[in-house]
């Protein structure tokens, strides 16, 4: 059967499946690449093409693909107890065990977890918990959330509104006027060249302070930020930024939400990046993806003892916390998380991520010699390469030139999957990656960018 036969997965998918972030008009013609098998660092499509996965599926398959231990743990749990009502006073052993592990390893007093189905729903839960908390404290006006331009926080309606990437806003109305506000992204590549890192950090902190004053500190409930901005372009903040933004929050009795959907579970070489890498303790921490390495969907929203103490008071006007997801604490997903964590522990994958992560950045710096590479940056196993028309002015290419998409296609020809986000190439390989595999990715990218820039 060729892929275009009506019975092929390609044809069925093209005719019936609505893919995320996809231009449906071109999809109708081109369809998808169907990935059939996946093992370790590699995926193989239905044309038999074996590709090195430079993006860990979508920032998530941290322990690598197709692991038997995961399959066995998942199947054992399905046979033992696959699902039961998680509401109120009913739970499962895996949900309890994972809650205990998270509380023991998360920063500060983040000792309480609300389970969700992924990162977007975990961010929705975070905002609802913030609002619930201030309502229980009788501060009914303290509800505004400050996010950042270029942030990505998800695709449910509230999470999409937290998101600051303008292209995601097309044709969607705001859920609530005046609830979510954005300040500048911490983007070292975009900072004026003659401004020092310290001065840039001062500027960002001052802008945040000013915005809070404009909105009124009594109205501002929380700030949300990724430790390293992922989809927005792997933007690493200036030194000390997160801690200083956290200090501003503390001064105004605001909560700091760390969106660690990407950065936790080894991507930056630690279980959680906010405390271990960036030295601040958020009041709320959101994660997903690497928590199960994408084997089963799961999101987690962790809150501090201080928040828990308020929301667990005898109820007054707050009523019960009325966010209820059928798949809260799904026993099979929590089992997958526990086995995934065990694998990371026994194989020393956090250390591997740190070691190979620094090698990755050294190796990729060579790409800056290419004429159209404006910047190579990142942290741990997150890396971005900006393609620009003019290195001196940092001016980008016209949208129609589709440089990112062309580099992506060349990389596929070279046997490596990368992720184009506009004219930016993003990389986030599984954290089991070796230095040899880093070399393969970097040389595939080098040759793809050279080919594309030569026309
Ligand atoms: N937050 C961040 C930082 C993310 O990168 C993502 C997904 N890429 C999300 C939230 C949303 O997660 P999900 O797609 O699992 O809903």
CB of 150 closer than 6 angstroms to any ligand 1 atom: no
Q: Indicate if 323 and 356 belong to the same structural domain.
A: no
CB of 147 closer than 6 angstroms to any ligand 1 atom: no
The parts of the chain modelled with pLDDT lower than 50 are none
CB of 232 closer than 6 angstroms to any ligand 1 atom: no
Measured at the CA of 23, the angle between CA 22 and CA 24, to 5 degrees, comes to: 100
Q: Indicate if 255 and 200 belong to the same structural domain.
A: yes
What residues make up the domain containing 424?
33-63+348-453
CB under 8 Å to 48, separation ≥6 — which residues?
none
**392: in domain:** yes
CB under 8 Å to 193, separation ≥6 — which residues?
none
CB of 151 closer than 6 angstroms to any ligand 1 atom: no
CB of 259 closer than 6 angstroms to any ligand 1 atom: yes
Q: Dmax over Cα atoms in the chain, in whole Å?
A: 68
120 CA → ligand 1 middle, Å: 6
Q: Indicate if 175 and 288 belong to the same structural domain.
A: yes
**6: in domain:** no
Q: Which of 295, 325, 346 is the last residue of a domain?
A: 346
Q: Indicate if 226 and 121 belong to the same structural domain.
A: yes
Count of CB atoms situated within 10 Å of the CB of 26: 9
Q: Which of 312, 346, 380 is the last residue of a domain?
A: 346
Is 111:305 a contact under the CB 8 Å cutoff?
yes
CB of 297 closer than 6 angstroms to any ligand 1 atom: no
Token pair of 209 as six digits: 């302070």
- pTM, two decimal places: 0.97
- Provide the pLDDT for residue 336: 98
Q: Indicate if 331 and 430 belong to the same structural domain.
A: no
Q: Indicate if 395 and 325 belong to the same structural domain.
A: no
**10: in domain:** no
Q: Which of 346, 378, 405 is the last residue of a domain?
A: 346
- Reported as half-sphere exposure (CB side, CA atoms, 13 A), residue 30 has a value of 9
Cα–Cα distance, 65 to 406 (Å, whole number): 26
- The CATH number covering residue 416 comes to 3.90.1150.10
CB of 158 closer than 6 angstroms to any ligand 1 atom: no
Q: How far is CA 305 from CA 109, 110, 207, 287, 365, in A?
A: 6, 6, 30, 18, 43
Residue spans of beta strands (DSSP E) within 110-196: 110-116, 144-148, 180-183
Q: Indicate if 321 and 175 belong to the same structural domain.
A: yes
Token pair of 380 as six digits: 């741990």
66 CA → ligand 1 middle, Å: 22
- Please state at what angle helix 93-105 crosses helix 331-346, rounded to 10 degrees: 40
366 CA → ligand 1 middle, Å: 30
* β-pair partners for 236: 228
- Provide the pLDDT for residue 4: 75
**139: in domain:** yes
Cα–Cα distance, 375 to 394 (Å, whole number): 9
- The CATH number covering residue 339 comes to 3.40.640.10
Nearest CA to ligand 1 atom 1: 153
85 CA → ligand 1 middle, Å: 26
Closest ligand 1 atom to Cα of 151:
3
Q: Indicate if 265 and 378 belong to the same structural domain.
A: no
**258: in domain:** yes
Q: Indicate if 244 and 390 belong to the same structural domain.
A: no
**4: in domain:** no
Q: What is the CA radius of gyration of the chain?
A: 22
- What is the tally of structural domains in the chain? 2
- Distance from first CA to last CA of the chain, Å, rounded? 35
**182: in domain:** yes
Q: Indicate if 282 and 200 belong to the same structural domain.
A: yes
286 CA → ligand 1 middle, Å: 10
**28: in domain:** no
Q: Indicate if 87 and 51 belong to the same structural domain.
A: no
Q: Indicate if 391 and 250 belong to the same structural domain.
A: no
């Amino acid at each position: 059967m060729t892929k275009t036969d009506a019975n092929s997965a390609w044809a069925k998918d093209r005719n019936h499946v609505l893919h995320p972030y996809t231009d449906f008009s071109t999809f109708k013609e081109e369809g998808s690449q169907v990935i059939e098998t996946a093992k370790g660092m590699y995926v193989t499509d239905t044309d038999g093409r074996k590709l090195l996965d430079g993006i860990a599926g979508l920032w998530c398959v941290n322990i690598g693909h197709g692991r038997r231990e995961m399959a066995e743990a998942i199947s054992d749990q399905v046979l033992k107890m696959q699902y039961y009502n998680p509401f109120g006073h009913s739970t499962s052993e895996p949900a309890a065990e994972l809650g205990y592990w998270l509380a023991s390893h998360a920063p500060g007093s983040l000792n309480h977890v609300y389970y969700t189905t992924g990162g977007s729903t975990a961010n929705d839960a975070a905002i609802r918990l913030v609002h619930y908390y201030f309502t229980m404290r009788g501060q009914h006006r303290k509800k505004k959330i400050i996010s950042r331009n270029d942030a990505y926080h998800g695709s449910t309606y509230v999470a999409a509104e937290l998101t600051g990437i303008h292209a995601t806003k097309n044709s969607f109305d705001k859920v609530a006027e005046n609830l979510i506000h954005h300040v500048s992204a911490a983007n070292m590549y975009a900072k004026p060249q003659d401004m020092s890192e310290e001065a840039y950090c001062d500027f960002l902190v001052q802008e945040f302070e000013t915005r809070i004053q404009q909105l009124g500190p009594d109205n501002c409930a929380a700030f949300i930020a990724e430790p390293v901005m992922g989809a927005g372009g792997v933007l690493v903040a200036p030194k000390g930024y997160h801690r200083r933004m956290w200090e501003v929050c503390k001064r105004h009795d605001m909560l700091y939400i760390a969106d660690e959907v990407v950065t936790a579970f080894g991507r930056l070489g630690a279980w959680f990046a906010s405390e271990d890498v960036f030295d601040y303790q958020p009041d709320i921490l959101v994660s997903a993806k690497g928590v199960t390495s994408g084997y089963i969907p799961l999101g987690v929203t962790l809150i501090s003892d201080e928040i828990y103490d308020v929301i667990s008071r005898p109820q007054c006007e707050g009523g019960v916390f009325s966010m209820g997801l059928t798949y809260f604490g799904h026993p099979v997903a929590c089992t997958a998380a526990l086995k995934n964590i065990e694998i990371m522990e026994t194989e020393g994958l956090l250390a591997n991520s740190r070691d190979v992560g620094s090698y990755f950045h050294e190796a990729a710096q060579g790409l800056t010699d290419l004429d159209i590479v404006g910047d190579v940056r990142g942290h741990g196993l997150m890396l971005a390469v900006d393609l620009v028309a003019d290195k001196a002015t940092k001016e980008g290419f016209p949208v129609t030139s589709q440089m990112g998409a062309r580099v992506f296609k060349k990389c596929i020809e070279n046997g490596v999957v990368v992720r184009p986000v506009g004219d930016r190439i993003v990389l986030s390989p599984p954290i089991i990656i070796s230095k040899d595999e880093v070399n393969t990715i970097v040389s595939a990218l080098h040759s793809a960018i050279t080919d594309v820039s030569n026309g």
